[in-house]
Amino acid sequence: MFEGRAEEAMRYYAEHVPGCEIVEIVHYGAGEQGAEGSVLRGDLRVANLAVTCMDSSIHHAFTFTPSISLFVTCDSLEEISRVARALGDGGQVLMGLADYGFSKQFTWLNDRFGVSWQLNLP
């Protein structure tokens, strides 16, 4: 649940995350409960995981936390480096891209929207 940035986040993920695509975006229309043009429901597919995004018209005291992350397996060092740079831009790196012993390369970060990602190169 985003507060006005769901479509921006979805388009960013579809551009930078391997295997990610926008399935559908439905916007609020004039006179509906949410702000006109904001996302009523957005369907995103990350590999085989269906993710639903939305814009809340109400400000909440909570946001995303790293207690749940989207885990993406990358195919090459170039790919994981590119995705880590893109998702880390404006975000917060929790574990920098490195060999931690359980994979060739791994990183854990919160992106600019506050969503937590774990990227892995097995």
DSSP E strands in 1-122: the ranges are: 20-27, 39-46, 49-53, 70-73, 92-98, 105-110, 116-121
pLDDT tens sequence across 54-108 = 999 888 888 888 889 999 999 999 999 999 999 999 999 999 999 999 999 999 9
Report the number of distinct structural domains present in the chain: 2
Is-contact 111 87, C-beta < 8 A?
yes
- Domain span at residue 108? 70-121
In a domain, 80, yes or no: yes
Pairing type for strands 105-110 and 92-98 reads: antiparallel
Nearest to 111 by CA among 87, 76, 95: 87
* CATH at residue 113: 3.30.720.110
Residue 62 lies in a domain: no
